[in-house]
Amino acid sequence: MLPLSEVKVLDLSRVLAGPYCSMILADLGADVVKVEMPKKGDDSRAFGPFVNGESAYFMSINRNKKSITLNLKAPKGKEIFKNLVKKFDVVLENFRPGTMERLGLGYDVLKKINPGLIYAACSGYGQTGPYTDRPAYDAVIQAMGGLMSITGFPEGRPTRVGASIADITAGLFTTIGIMAALVKRKSTGEGDMVDIAMLDSIVAVLENAIARYEITGKVPGPIGNRHPSITPFESFRVSDGEIMVAVGNDDLWAKFCQAIDKPELIDEPKFKINPQRVENYDALKPILQSVMAQKSVDEWILILEKAGVPCSPINTIDRVVNHPQVMARDMIVKIHHPTAGEIKIPGSPLKFNNAKVIFNPAPILGQHTDEILKELLNMNENEINMLRNNEII
Amino acid sequence: MLPLSEVKVLDLSRVLAGPYCSMILADLGADVVKVEMPKKGDDSRAFGPFVNGESAYFMSINRNKKSITLNLKAPKGKEIFKNLVKKFDVVLENFRPGTMERLGLGYDVLKKINPGLIYAACSGYGQTGPYTDRPAYDAVIQAMGGLMSITGFPEGRPTRVGASIADITAGLFTTIGIMAALVKRKSTGEGDMVDIAMLDSIVAVLENAIARYEITGKVPGPIGNRHPSITPFESFRVSDGEIMVAVGNDDLWAKFCQAIDKPELIDEPKFKINPQRVENYDALKPILQSVMAQKSVDEWILILEKAGVPCSPINTIDRVVNHPQVMARDMIVKIHHPTAGEIKIPGSPLKFNNAKVIFNPAPILGQHTDEILKELLNMNENEINMLRNNEII
């Protein structure tokens, strides 16, 4: 049995942060019903590239979910939504704050309908504070939250993380918030509202940058691919690319020097122990760089792995999807989609001894509308046809 | 009542991924007891900078936890640990796979002692697969998992994210796995083992890079601070730094052109709608860049915010901690530490209507040893003194 198989989620979210959260809930067995605008659906259904008209982006983040169409601007659509809310444990949305209230479907309204409801709102800046009403994009949040200022090279420009990490970490914290509320509700029967912001989430994942700044008064800057206090612990240019090498302690230093055929460096007083290597970095780096430049990525990886020195090629995505460990962990899964055919998407990092995530394809728009209206609200064909003719569904 | 106030966590983890997970559990009200090596403790207690001898790194990630010392290599230490396991809901560790088994304290042993136990293991590569035994560092995982290959500028080098995002996302997924197991146990009474890998976690947060590659066969590369399919949506150099601007649609394009005093660009056929701006990026970028270079960060932010164009300074950490929205959301909190005095650390992004995270200082090494041995295992002063003299605690 999957851990969340008794949990039902009514999901109004679109594009990334919210859908990433509901993907995890669905992977864990929750019954996730995506509520989409008739005709149009989740904006990301229109994001290319496409396979037989289906968006790769949408398919990879909406697996294991159901889809119903429902026009929440129409009074009849609101009525149906409220009736559905009675049957669900969780409502999830990632609209700009105030949107649900304007629709007459805010938490205050819904909790009267379903007092045990867990209502999760995921937004750019959160439901409170002077920035609450602003539109947010991942790139703006990465800039505002300080992550870009510590990513990149000292001589270069502040750098955006290549994945939408502000959306994704907000999605992860929203998942955690929902689950915490579920655990509590199992004891108390009480529902709650969860309010997650992308900006808060980025501040929370800056690691030690904030504590370091508060204590030293020194503003942390980008340090490229180096470790701040261990040497050598960085990427080196090699003959055909670049590799990451992590000489985490003095034992590894000896192994590394042997492996690169520079045994004379091991006991060289300037480099013998890590604090000296950090202090004499400017002397050490050119020596190592000139040796590393002499062989290729694959040659160095073979040599360093044999010597037990932690290292890795800087894998491009084609190498990642074929990586033996990635494959052994089922992190690339095949899904058969009714329209798109067989596609490969990332698997789930959530591994349990007593449960295994399964993967069903993302729904086509409104695929489960009839089924859900019949099963949960006891509607008949006639009622459903009338709703469809009136563009409510 | 905080959501996890009935949950007890025995935490063997060190440094970052595991402690980040148990920090979230503790923030949510769980009773987290950190088990540390006598005399030495968590490695990160030795990471600078320090305030009155206390590590800023350690203090920021170990708030709200208790600490006991216990030597797990000594038979008496193992016995005490097993007795403690009976009283806890969750055991968390982030050792290299196999370590707990070698100590005689693997999941198979512990689940016999406590069948409802949730055992969470967080490691570099996971408990299975050909890489399972290898040591992992965040930088190596960011390289191996493909994140570095899509971060940075096309003409530049692959770039490590400036925060330890492989550790942190693994910590977040471990938190999710533990909570999912808690929800299930509330229904079934069954425990489970959760197995989270840093490499899996990075693959899972690559966003759409994998689906895109699988469908197009084109290997995604770094695109700097640009959006792949929206223009202008990137950072611009201005007179005294750089700012992020996100012109997400054609309405915003018109507002942006007015704001930068280039109204003639709005209806210019090459730039009128987004697909044209993307196609004619090489013509548009220099025009915009030369305008943007004429004013400062603060001048542009004032102008663009007034015009309703999403934008942000690329904030350094000193600006982040004083940002009005960050402050309004309590994302910087003051803690009074008994040794270090008043320090500021990041707050929690987990906001609930019916519960509020509180912040107690990180424990000093072994601060709660006596209390816990007395309360949970009914030991007396004599027994505790003998354990201390024998370096068991």
B371 membership: H or E segment, kind and range: helix B369-377
Q: Does B185 share its domain with B48?
A: yes
* In contact, B57 and A210? CB cutoff 8 Å: no
Chain A residues within 8 A of B49 when measuring between CB atoms: 212, 215-216
Q: How far is B328 from chain A (nearest CA, A)?
A: 5
Q: Which of B277, B295, B315 is the last residue of a domain?
A: B315
Alpha carbon distance B194, A1 (integer Å): 14
Does B135 reside within a domain?
yes
Q: Does A174 share its domain with A286?
A: no
Q: Of B158, B211, B323, which is closest to A57 when you measure between CB atoms?
A: B211
Q: Report the CATH number at residue B80.
A: 3.40.50.10540
Chain B residues within 8 A of A163 when measuring between CB atoms: 147, 150-151, 205-207, 209
Q: For residues A165-178, give the mean pLDDT.
A: 98
Is B118 an 8 Å CB contact of chain A? no
CB–CB contact A152 B144 (8 Å): no
Phi, psi of B258 (to 5 degrees): -60, -45
Q: For residues A328-347, give the mean pLDDT.
A: 95
Q: How far is B36 from chain A (nearest CA, A)?
A: 21
Q: Report the CATH number at residue A284.
A: 3.30.1540.10
Chain A residues within 8 A of B314 when measuring between CB atoms: 143, 148-149, 158
* In contact, B384 and A208? CB cutoff 8 Å: no
Interface list for B 364-393 with A (CB within 8 A): none
Mutate to test the interface with B, among A47, A91, A138, A144 (most CBs of B within 10 A): A144
- Cα separation of the two ends of chain B: 33
CB–CB contact B197 A60 (8 Å): no
Q: How far is A51 from chain B (nearest CA, A)?
A: 7
Residues with pLDDT less than 70, chain B? none
Q: Does A154 share its domain with A28?
A: yes
How many domains, in total, are found in chain A?
A: 2
pLDDT at residue B48 in the model: 87
Is B24 an 8 Å CB contact of chain A? yes
Does A283 reside within a domain?
yes
Is A116 an 8 Å CB contact of chain B? no
Q: Does B293 share its domain with B357?
A: no
Q: Does A196 share its domain with A93?
A: yes
Does B290 reside within a domain?
yes
Nearest CA in chain B to A341: B215
* In contact, A48 and A55? CB cutoff 8 Å: yes
CB–CB contact A159 B225 (8 Å): yes
Domain ranges, residue A134: 8-205+329-389
Does B106 reside within a domain?
yes
pLDDT at residue A207 in the model: 83
Active site residues of A: 167
CB–CB contact A190 B354 (8 Å): yes
Catalytic residue (choose from B31, B89, B167, B200) = B167
Q: Which of B289, B315, B341 is the last residue of a domain?
A: B315
Mutate to test the interface with A, among B155, B199, B210 (most CBs of A within 10 A): B210
- C-alpha dist (Å) from residue B209 to A21, A65, B145: 18, 21, 12
Chain B residues within 8 A of A164 when measuring between CB atoms: 207
Q: Which of B255, B256, B310, B229 is nearest to A96 (CA)?
A: B310
Helix, strand, coil percent values for chain B (each to nearest 5): 40, 15, 45
Q: Does B167 share its domain with B34?
A: yes
Q: How far is A255 from chain B (nearest CA, A)?
A: 15
- Which position has the token pair 């609101």? A78
Does A219 reside within a domain?
no
Q: Which of B315, B345, B378 is the last residue of a domain?
A: B315
Q: Does B256 share its domain with B357?
A: no
pLDDT at residue A144 in the model: 98
Q: Does B193 share its domain with B51?
A: yes
Does B320 reside within a domain?
no
Chain B residues within 8 A of A48 when measuring between CB atoms: 229
Alpha carbon distance A136, B302 (integer Å): 17
Q: Residue A50 above 90 pLDDT?
A: yes
* In contact, B168 and A328? CB cutoff 8 Å: no
Nearest CA in chain A to B1: A184
Q: Residue A48 above 90 pLDDT?
A: no
Q: What percent of chain B has pLDDT over 70?
A: 100
Tokens found for residue B363: 């424990």
Mutate to test the interface with B, among A155, A207, A242, A333 (most CBs of B within 10 A): A207
Q: For residues A331-343, give the mean pLDDT.
A: 95
Q: Does B196 share its domain with B84?
A: yes
Interface list for A 38-67 with B (CB within 8 A): 47-51, 56-57, 59-61
Q: How far is A372 from chain B (nearest CA, A)?
A: 25
pLDDT at residue A229 in the model: 87
Q: Of B135, B162, B184, which is closest to A150 when you measure between CB atoms?
A: B162
Q: What percent of chain A has pLDDT over 90?
A: 97
Q: Does B309 share its domain with B347?
A: no
Please state, as a whole number, how many other Cβ atoms lie within 10 Å of the Cβ of residue A154. Answer: 9
pLDDT in tens, A240-269: 999 999 999 999 999 999 999 999 999 999
Does A16 reside within a domain?
yes
DSSP state of A71: -
Q: How far is A117 from chain B (nearest CA, A)?
A: 12
Q: Does B22 share its domain with B145?
A: yes
pLDDT level of residue A182 (50, 70, 90 thresholds): very high
Q: Indicate the length of chain B as a whole number.
A: 393
pLDDT in tens, A85-144: 999 999 999 999 999 999 999 999 999 999 999 999 999 999 999 999 998 999 999 999
Inter-chain Cβ pairs, chain A and chain B, closer than 8 A: 507
Nearest CA in chain A to B198: A349
CB–CB contact B135 A248 (8 Å): yes
CB–CB contact A149 B316 (8 Å): yes
Exposed/middle/buried for A34, CB within 10 Å: 0-12, 13-18, 19+? Answer: buried
pLDDT at residue B229 in the model: 87
Q: For residues A353-365, give the mean pLDDT.
A: 96
Is A350 an 8 Å CB contact of chain B? yes
Is A357 an 8 Å CB contact of chain B? no
pLDDT in tens, A203-234: 999 988 998 999 999 999 999 999 988 999 99
Does A143 reside within a domain?
yes
Give a three-class secondary structure readout of B26-88. Answer: HHCCCEEEEEECCCCCCHHHHCCCEECCEEHHHHHHCCCCEEEECCCCCHHHHHHHHHHHCCC
Q: Does A307 share its domain with A349?
A: no
Alpha carbon distance A304, A120 (integer Å): 47
**B11: helix, strand or coil:** strand
Interface list for A 271-310 with B (CB within 8 A): 310
Alpha carbon distance B95, B72 (integer Å): 13
